[in-house]
Amino acid sequence: MKSSPPLNALLYLSTLLLAPLLPAAPPNVVFIMADDLGWADVGFHDAEFYETPNIDKLRAAGMEFSSAYPGASNCMPSRSCLVSGMYVPRTDMWTPGTKAKGSKAAMKFLVPRNNDKSGDAVFPSKDALEPSITSIAEVLKTAGYHTAHFGKWHLGPDGQGFDLNDTSGNGTGTKGGYYSDIDVAERLTDAACKYITDNKEQPFFIYLCHWDVHTPITARKEVVSKYRDKLDKGRDWKRKWNPTYTAMIEAVDTSVGRIRKQLQDEGLEENTLLIFTSDNGGYSGVTWCDPLKGAKGSFFEGGIRVPTCMSWPGTIKPGGTTDIPITGVDLLPTLADLAGAKLPGNQPVDGKSWKPLLTGTDAPQLTDRAIFWHYPLYLAGAEYNKVLPVHGTDLPYWRATPCSVIRKGDWKLLQFFEDDSIQLYNLKNDLGETTDLAKTNKEKAAALLAELKQWQKDTKAVIPHTPNPDFNPKSLSKNGR
């Protein structure tokens, strides 16, 4: 008579048979965002002077998203898109400080502007997300996630449902920790690593927002000294690179390496989606965005295209690249899709899930769609980022004027409200946006403009039109004052 198989052997066999039928455990997600890190500031985009070995290793282990965009060209509205899943016109969060920045004599339209109450009531401009908005943290919590935010917040006093969120921006429970503190990147990383260890038994979402490399440009003296030596003793650099800014980049890069190692040490790397990105383009006062046009605050590519890579061993094939455009409003629906969570029922969700790109499947919902930006204010330029003139003149002055933008496929169209003009670029052939095709490809321009205007209508986007009684370009000197 044959003996029965041991019970543990039967259990093992049943596990093998049932494994393909069981749902995969939802992944942990760690989202690391630098502040003002430009598209060209990383090694995997051939940075000449800056060193980002840990970010480069993350990219090599995963996938680069070469057409990744935030939902705005500066920090506050960019973050509102990530946390809410909605485009900026739905939140009225246009810019930090809520006001246009620049000479009122250079503004054709009346808009909310600095030190001038006459512009305040023209249209809403908010500095906080409404507490009633369902956030990405609240969506993930319905799927059993623990959620934490560390670092820069910029969305108002409400924690938006994160289990751990110091909205002051410190995020570590210690005193200090603001962006002028050279130790803040290290302490934020300490807190994130501890959270990984403390929450490894259930799925978690970490939203780690570094203050670096935003101004003020400060860093550890010994690291600055290392890069000053590199600058002084190295080859003939084509530009006078900033050693302190470079040291700030190293602080972010070190954080990425530490987070990745912590996941490896805890045995969590294969079930964790690790994302690295920036909140907007590089700051023109300290870095360069070549070959892109413009920089932070502009709606040309230098202001809105950001370095982005993601790793998820066993799911994302290493070394890949996708040029399919993604944008900040996509984060909420993507993580909801991965977690098996329902989307909010009380508000629109403007983004689309990236899950097909991560898993290597077809993504027609991403390749065939349009993505959008909108900005109804003015933003004065700096350094080489004076990419737009004062209306009616050839005086370079603005980073941004009231405008809307659409990208669909390889095409990008900008609509400027001051003179109702448009510019059209094919980004596949002209990444630097040097050749305006609006007049030579009128059919494509008309189709994109019609789609953009429909989006403006659907989102109730504010479009300024009230003449500014102080508009007086003749009063401006050559430097715009």
Contact between residue 83 and residue 366 where contact means Cβ atoms under 8 Å apart: no
> What's the pLDDT at 380?
96
Calculate mean pLDDT across residues 5-16: 49
Look at residues 266, 342, 209 and name the one whose alpha carbon lies nearest to residue 28. 266
When pLDDT is averaged across residues 456-470 and rounded to a whole number, the result is 96
Classify residue 189: in a domain, yes or no: yes
Q: Is the dihedral of CA 146, 149, 154, 159 positive or negative?
A: positive
Q: What is the DSSP letter of 416?
A: E
Alpha-carbon span 47 to 280, nearest angstrom: 17
Does residue 218 fall inside a structural domain? yes
* Confidence label for 14 from pLDDT (cuts 50, 70 and 90): very low
Q: Assess if residue 15 is contained within a domain.
A: no
Task: Provide the CATH number for the domain around residue 402.
Answer: 3.30.1120.10
**Which of residues 359 and 5 earns the better pLDDT score?**
359
Strand 204-209, strand 28-34: pairing: parallel
In this structure, the answer to whether residues 380 and 309 fall within a common structural domain is no
- Look at residue 403 and give its three-state secondary structure: strand
Question: Looking at the structure, do residues 294 and 409 belong to the same domain, yes or no?
Answer: no
The first and second tokens of residue 204, run together, are 């978690």
Asked if residue 132 is part of any domain, the answer here is yes
Q: Is residue 221 part of a domain?
A: yes
pLDDT over 90, % of the chain: 84
Name residue 415's beta-bridge partners.
Answer: 404, 422
Cβ within 8 Å of residue 293, ≥6 positions away: 300, 301, 302, 387, 432, 433, 434
Instruction: Write down which residue in 341, 365, 389 finishes a domain.
Output: 365
Give the single-character DSSP code of 2.
P
* Greater model confidence, 96 or 18: 96
pLDDT at residue 117, as a whole number = 75
Q: How confident is the model at residue 478 (pLDDT cuts 50, 70, 90)?
A: low
pLDDT bucket at 309, cuts 50 / 70 / 90: very high
Instruction: Specify the pLDDT at position 448.
Output: 98
Q: Verify that 278 and 239 share a domain, yes or no.
A: yes
Is residue 394 domain-shared with residue 413, that is, in the same domain? yes
Strands 28-34 and 272-278: parallel
Instruction: Specify whether 379 is located in the same domain as 409.
Output: yes
CATH of the domain at 234: 3.40.720.10
112-116, 231-235, 337-341 — most confident range: 337-341
Do residues 334 and 388 both lie within one domain? no
Q: What is the pLDDT of residue 179?
A: 52
Confidence band for 178, pLDDT divided at 50, 70 and 90: very low
Binning pLDDT at 50, 70 and 90, where does residue 8 land?
Answer: low
Are residues 188 and 204 located together in one domain of the fold? Answer: yes
Question: Are 358 and 273 contacting, i.e. CB atoms less than 8 angstroms apart?
Answer: yes
Q: Are residues 383 and 331 in the same domain?
A: no
From CA 152, how far away is CA 34, in angstroms rounded? 10
Residue 233, pLDDT > 90, answer no
402, 411 contact by CB (below 8 A)? no
Asked if residue 389 is part of any domain, the answer here is yes
Q: What is the pLDDT of residue 479?
A: 59
Give Rg (Cα) of the chain: 24
pLDDT > 50? residue 20: no
pTM: 0.92
Same domain, 63 and 167: yes
Specify the 3-state DSSP secondary structure of 322.
strand
pLDDT value of residue 254: 97
Token pair listed for 232: 């002084």
Same domain, 351 and 377: no
CA–CA separation, 303 and 276 (whole Å): 18
What local confidence, expressed as pLDDT, does residue 278 receive? 98
pLDDT in the model for residue 183: 86
* Cβ–Cβ < 8 Å for 212, 249: yes
Length of the chain: 481
DSSP helix/strand/coil, 436: coil
7: pLDDT strictly greater than 60: no
Same domain, 336 and 384: no
Domain count, the chain: 2
Range in 60-74, 220-234, 251-265 with the lowest mean pLDDT: 220-234
Chain segment 362-376, per-residue pLDDT in tens: 888 899 899 999 999
Q: Is residue 3 part of a domain?
A: no
Q: What percent of the chain is modeled with pLDDT above 70?
A: 92
Q: Given a cut of 60, is residue 174 above it in pLDDT?
A: no
pLDDT at 53 over 50: yes
The predicted pLDDT at position 350 comes to 97
Quick: pLDDT tens for 421-453. 999 999 999 999 999 999 999 999 999 999 999
Q: 479 Cβ partners below 8 Å, 6+ apart?
A: none
pLDDT of residue 168: 76
Instruction: State yes or no: pLDDT of 27 exceeds 70.
Output: yes
Alpha carbon dihedral 160, 70, 76, 387, in 10-degree steps, equals: -170
Residue by residue, DSSP assigns 215-283 as SS----HHHHHHHHHHHHHSS--SS---HHHHHHHHHHHHHHHHHHHHHHHTT-GGGEEEEEEESSPPP
Q: Which of 305, 330, 365 is the last residue of a domain?
A: 365
**All residues at 6 or more sequence positions from 224 whose CB lies less than 8 Å from its CB, including other chains:** 243, 244, 247
Helix (H, G, I), strand (E, B) or coil at 456: helix
Residue 35 gets the label, from left (phi > 0), alpha (psi -120 to 50) or beta, of: beta
Same domain for 309 and 221, yes or no, is: yes
pLDDT band, very low/low/confident/very high, at 347 (cuts 50, 70, 90): very high
Instruction: Report the distance separating Cα 134 and Cα 430, nearest Å.
Output: 39
The secondary element (H helix, E strand) that includes residue 326 is strand 326-327
Tell me which of 305, 339, 365 is where a domain ends: 365
Distance CA(320)–CA(172), nearest Å, equals 35
Strand ranges (DSSP E) for 139-197? 146-151, 164-165
Pairwise CA distance, residues 432 & 438, whole Å: 16
Residue 456 forms part of a structural domain: yes
DSSP 8-state secondary structure symbol assigned to residue 67: T
**What's the domain range around 409?**
373-475
- Alpha-carbon separation of residue 86 from 166, 189, 306, 328, 382 (angstroms): 23, 28, 19, 9, 29
Structure token pair of residue 287: 């870095």
What pLDDT is recorded for position 480? 60
**Mean pLDDT computed over every residue of the chain:** 91
Residue with tokens 């943290």: 137
